[in-house]
């Protein structure tokens, strides 16, 4: 029989071989923490490796590194938590309310207090966000609404809770989409399969409800087409200006194959001009002038333009389409745009263009090409 000493040595050897390398930690940090391939880690030191208290399947790597970014060397002191292929820099024990991310543990008691059967619900997520994610003064009046729950592929029992988090900023309600991951014991907003290079927070979107295929949003194609595409777009977003006209063309040329449902999602902080342009587009749609929608996507205008008269004139000069302030200020137009933005929030749309093909998020925005081959 194998001696206890030999067995112990084999266990130690297996544990050491399973531990991640400096290179793995560095790549995780660059790709998923600061999300910059241009940053260079000039030095990485692992100061300590220890088991996470109460969760021995997880190991905490306390690392110190020097990062070169924009010709500046910045010191970084970080804890990276590892369990097999999974990595994260944020980990909270939901049962005890303990944050294992920081060296000074913070405990707020069980996050499941008041939760039936110890299950993650909106109240649990609210408590998590208030105590471990949002910082003062933004962690007051926090509310969470769960819009979908999905399993994390290949990593049972982890689940992704897709939620809308509402909090106050300078007296105004602010809503943000957020994914909270939990295996029933631990919670985090960051979960990465570092071997497959998958950041699950960027890979999961809510399922589309049937109500999204509303006839009033059908831009091109037949409603009973074989495939349904949903696009959330901003007419001044550079990526939208490149991709969306191609999708429109595909739906126009293959109406029995593609039904294109178009939703407004102006990124006003980046392109203030879009706030007016989407209203003009909607008026054009209501008048049956779908050609104007396409033409506005080729409009060259300062994205920071806010003068309504100038924008209306620019659109008329470019497309020949006359529109008035009264038309675009119609309460029905404003309500439609607001409802589109609410739909985007429910589906956790955060950028443009966001494309769904047959109910599934098309991250690369090119699956429509396969439908018309």
What is the DSSP track for 125-137?
HHHHIIIIIS-TT
Query: What is the predicted pLDDT for the residue at 11?
Result: 38
Residue with structure tokens 């995780």?
Answer: 28
Q: Give backbone dihedrals phi and psi of 196, rounded to 5 degrees, phi first.
A: -90, -5
pLDDT digits (tens, 9 = 90+) for 261-292: 999 999 999 999 999 999 999 999 999 999 99
Mean pLDDT within 56-61: 95
Query: What is the predicted pLDDT for the residue at 254?
Result: 98
pLDDT digits (tens, 9 = 90+) for 62-94: 999 888 877 788 888 999 999 999 999 999 999
Query: What is the predicted pLDDT for the residue at 10?
Result: 37
pLDDT digits (tens, 9 = 90+) for 158-194: 999 999 999 998 888 888 899 999 999 999 999 999 9
Distance separating alpha carbons of residues 312 and 277, to the nearest angstrom: 8
- pLDDT bucket at 15, cuts 50 / 70 / 90: very low
Give the pairing type, strands 218-220 and 159-169.
unpaired
State which CATH number among 3.40.50.720, 3.30.300.30, 3.40.30.10, 3.10.310.10 fits the domain covering 211-371.
3.40.30.10
Distance separating alpha carbons of residues 355 and 365, to the nearest angstrom: 6
Asked if residue 7 has pLDDT above 70, the reply is no
- pLDDT bucket at 36, cuts 50 / 70 / 90: low
Asked if residue 364 has pLDDT above 80, the reply is yes
Query: What is the predicted pLDDT for the residue at 312?
Result: 98
42: enclosing H helix or E strand: strand 40-52
Query: What is the predicted pLDDT for the residue at 106?
Result: 62
> Taking the domains of the chain in order of start, what are their residue ranges?
20-204, 211-371
Q: Give backbone dihedrals phi and psi of 177, rounded to 5 degrees, phi first.
A: -80, 140
Q: C-alpha distances in angstroms, 17 versus 10, 13, 155, 194?
A: 10, 6, 21, 16
Which tokens go with 14?
């297996």
Q: C-alpha distances in angstroms, 289 versus 113, 160, 180, 219, 305?
A: 55, 41, 42, 10, 24
- SS3 state of residue 59: strand
More confident residue, 38 or 195: 195
pLDDT digits (tens, 9 = 90+) for 139-158: 889 999 999 999 999 999 99
Spatial CA neighbour of 121 closest among 83, 170, 159: 159
Give the pairing type, strands 258-264 and 227-233.
parallel
More confident residue, 260 or 24: 260
- pLDDT bucket at 105, cuts 50 / 70 / 90: low
Spatial CA neighbour of 272 closest among 241, 303, 307: 303
- SS3 state of residue 267: coil
More confident residue, 106 or 296: 296
Distance separating alpha carbons of residues 116 and 68, to the nearest angstrom: 48
* 8-state DSSP, 350: -
List all residues 6 or more positions away from 233 whose beta carbon is below 8 Å from its beta carbon: 240, 244, 262, 263, 264, 265, 352, 353
Q: What percent of the chain has pLDDT over 90?
A: 71
More confident residue, 45 or 304: 304
Q: C-alpha distances in angstroms, 38 versus 66, 69, 197?
A: 14, 7, 17
Asked if residue 300 has pLDDT above 90, the reply is yes
Average pLDDT, whole number, for the chain? 90
Question: What's the sign of the alpha-carbon dihedral 313, 319, 322, 326?
Answer: negative
Spatial CA neighbour of 264 closest among 352, 204, 164, 326: 352
Q: What percent of the chain has pLDDT over 70?
A: 92
Asked if residue 331 has pLDDT above 70, the reply is yes
Spatial CA neighbour of 100 closest among 49, 46, 52: 52
């Amino acid at each position: 029989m194998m001696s206890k000493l030999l067995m112990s040595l084999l266990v130690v050897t297996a544990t050491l071989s399973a531990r991640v390398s400096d290179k793995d930690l560095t790549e995780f940090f660059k790709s998923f923490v600061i999300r910059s391939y241009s940053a260079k880690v000039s030095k990485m030191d692992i100061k300590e490796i220890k088991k996470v208290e109460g969760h021995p399947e997880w190991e905490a790597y306390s690392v110190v590194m020097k990062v070169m970014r924009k010709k500046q060397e910045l010191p970084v002191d970080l804890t990276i938590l590892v369990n097999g292929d999974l990595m994260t820099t944020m980990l909270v024990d939901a049962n005890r309310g303990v944050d294992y991310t920081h060296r000074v543990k913070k405990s707020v008691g069980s996050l499941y207090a008041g939760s039936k059967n110890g299950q993650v619900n909106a109240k649990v997520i609210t408590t998590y966000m208030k105590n471990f994610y949002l910082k003062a003064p933004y962690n007051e009046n926090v509310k969470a609404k769960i819009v979908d729950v999905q399993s994390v592929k290949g990593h049972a029992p982890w689940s992704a809770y897709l939620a809308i988090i509402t909090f106050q900023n300078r007296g105004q309600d602010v809503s943000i989409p957020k994914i909270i991951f939990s295996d029933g014991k631990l919670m985090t907003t960051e979960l990465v399969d570092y071997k497959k290079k998958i950041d699950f927070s960027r890979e999961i979107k809510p399922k589309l409800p049937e109500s999204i295929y509303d006839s009033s949003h059908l831009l091109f194609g037949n409603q009973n087409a074989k495939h349904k595409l949903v696009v959330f777009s901003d007419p001044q977003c550079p990526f939208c200006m490149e991709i969306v006209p191609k999708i429109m063309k595909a739906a126009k040329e293959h109406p029995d194959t593609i039904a294109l449902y178009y939703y407004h999602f102006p990124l006003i902080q980046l392109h203030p001009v879009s706030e007016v342009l989407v209203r003009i587009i909607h008026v054009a749609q209501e008048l049956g002038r779908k050609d104007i929608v396409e033409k506005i996507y080729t409009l060259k205008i300062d994205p920071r333009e806010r003068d309504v008269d100038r924008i209306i004139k620019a659109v008329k000069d470019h497309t020949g389409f006359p529109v008035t302030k009264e038309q675009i200020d119609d309460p029905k137009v404003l309500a439609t745009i607001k409802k589109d933005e609410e739909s985007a929030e429910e589906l956790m749309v955060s950028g443009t263009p966001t494309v769904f093909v047959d109910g599934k998020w098309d991250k690369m925005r090119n699956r429509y090409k396969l439908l018309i081959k």
